Amino acid sequence: MSKNPMESVIRAEGLGKTYAEGKMHTPVFDGLDLDVKPGETVAIVGASGAGKSTLLHLLGGLDIPTAGEVYVAGHRMSALSDTERGRLRNRSLGFVYQFHHLLPEFTALENVMMPVMLDEKSPVPGRRWVATSIATVCFATLASVRTGHWIFLWLALGLWLAGLLGMGVISYWSGRKKVVAARQRATEILEAVGLGHRVHHKPGELSGGERQRAAVARALVNNPACILGDEPTGNLDDKTAGTVFELMLALNRRYQTSLVLVTHDRSLARKLDRVLELREGRLHQLERSEV
Ligand code: ADP
């Protein structure tokens, strides 16, 4: 994740997308450019079907462009494997959709902890450890057969068992440490969105606005460089939508997290640094008076 002011958090260069199904081709955009700086807030508006959701999917690495490149925190998305792209997405981007997408069987706290739990690599050197074990046992068997002293094989097996036990202990403790850290971070961020008193409630026990605030907390928990929102307040009544929107702006100022929000609500869009209209496959900056 990058918060270097010189580096764009998200950059799209000459982006093109055409959906192809059989002989049917649907071009959505062609040669689209976008540059989002750290801490910047950008609204994307446009008619239904203009390609706003498609653009967010491409910026978030959830879909692949048919032309051009997307850079997230300086990384060229097309150069990454699926796993690397997933890890970058989890660390550098947060997503908030119109529907909260919280898992109903988990509490707000557990939902918000999830991206942290998914973030770190396993401390256990999996494949390398298995390869070393097999090589050691093979070598010890060979040495035992050659010398006639089976002590080599027993020693190797003993070492292997001790290693296995050691890794189990390390894995258990680091797992516990990770859970404690995730819980602490999730509690902090839930308090920041005003849900400190609702951490143990499941989504079904929260109001619409509270659920969306929990979704915002989940998007922010890994301290991402940018939040991508697809009509994040579109499901809420006007008053609650205004409150959640103001909360997102306050959090943007507090954590310097960039925001790229698709919204049809021009009065909300006007509150962001820039308003871009997606029209005829390109982004056009709107003047305040045009919004
Ligand atoms: P918006 O979010 O601005 O309403 P979308 O990004 O959802 O627009 O869609 C842009 C265009 O791409 C629309 O014409 C839509 O029909 C088309 N489209 C979206 N998804 C697909 C898909 N999976 N296959 C084919 N066409 C699609």
The answer on 167 and 239 residing in a single domain is no
Q: What is the pLDDT of residue 124?
A: 53
Q: Six-digit token pair at 160?
A: 């292997």
DSSP per-residue letters across 224-275:
-SEEEEESTTTTS-HHHHHHHHHHHHHHHHHH--EEEEE-S-HHHHTTSSEE
The answer as to whether 221 is a domain residue is yes
Q: For the purposes of burial, counting CB atoms within 10 Å of the CB of 66, is it exposed (0-12), middle (13-18) or buried (19 or more)?
A: middle
For ligand 1, is residue 46 a contact (CB within 6 Å)?
yes
The answer as to whether 2 is a domain residue is no
Closest residue to atom 24 of ligand 1, CA basis: 19
The answer as to whether 3 is a domain residue is no
Closest residue to atom 22 of ligand 1, CA basis: 19
Helix (H) or strand (E) holding 35: strand 24-36
The number of domains in the chain is 2
For ligand 1, is residue 50 a contact (CB within 6 Å)?
yes
For ligand 1, is residue 57 a contact (CB within 6 Å)?
no
Q: What is the pLDDT of residue 2?
A: 44
pTM of the model: 0.82
Question: For the chain, which ranges sit under pLDDT 70?
Answer: 1-6, 120-126
For ligand 1, is residue 53 a contact (CB within 6 Å)?
yes
The answer on 164 and 151 residing in a single domain is yes
The answer as to whether 114 is a domain residue is yes
Q: Which domain holds residue 217?
A: 10-104+202-290
Compute CA distances 168 → 123, 134, 175, 203, 206, whole Å.
11, 18, 10, 35, 39
Contact between 269 and 45 under an 8 Å Cβ cutoff? The reply is yes
Q: Six-digit token pair at 51?
A: 């390609």
The answer as to whether 135 is a domain residue is yes
